Amino acid sequence: MIHLDTGFLIRALVRNSSEDIRLREWLRSNTPVGMSSIGWAEFLCGPVEKNDIALAGRIVPDRQPFTDEDATAAARLFNISGRRRGTFVDCMIAAVALGAGASLATTNPEDFRRLETAGLQIITV
């Protein structure tokens, strides 16, 4: 299972971008692709157009909800990674991916590197 972070999804919507090409490879090989409802909310904050929202919804039709267990995991990730301001949403996205047993595809690997020690597997292109 591969979860997409917001930046990856945004760039995957650009035809022939490296993210688009990689996503198409995963979909062709029937690799399960998803994302968290947290990442989806970030995506919807835009700026995005209706066509982008519709296409993204077809790519990841079922977003993983943020559960109480994810909240506990996100708080733990935040605490063990240094409690840095502006990083809690990344911890939430990572917690959902970890809970789903998914790797995280991101265009911002440095935002998530500090979470690798907690088991997060990062995919970049």
pLDDT value at residue 82: 86
Strand order in the sheet with 103-105: 33-34, 2-4, 103-105, 122-123
pLDDT tens track for 11-62? 999 999 999 999 999 999 999 999 999 999 999 998 899 999 999 999 999 8
Alpha-carbon distance of 72 to 106, in angstroms, equals 23
For 40, the token pair is 């989806």
H-helix or E-strand spanning residue 55: helix 50-59
| Average pLDDT of the segment spanning 107-116 | 95
Q: Coil, helix or strand for 54?
A: helix
Yes or no: say if 5 and 40 are a contact pair by the CB < 8 Å rule.
no
Q: What are the boundaries of each domain within the chain?
A: 2-123
Yes or no: say if 70 and 41 are a contact pair by the CB < 8 Å rule.
no
Amino acid at site 73: A
pLDDT tens track for 61-101? 989 999 999 999 999 999 998 888 888 999 999 999 999 99
Question: pLDDT class for 105, splitting at 50, 70, 90?
Answer: very high
For 6, the token pair is 């917001």
pLDDT value at residue 88: 96
Report the topology of domain 2-123: Rossmann fold (3.40.50)
DSSP 36: B
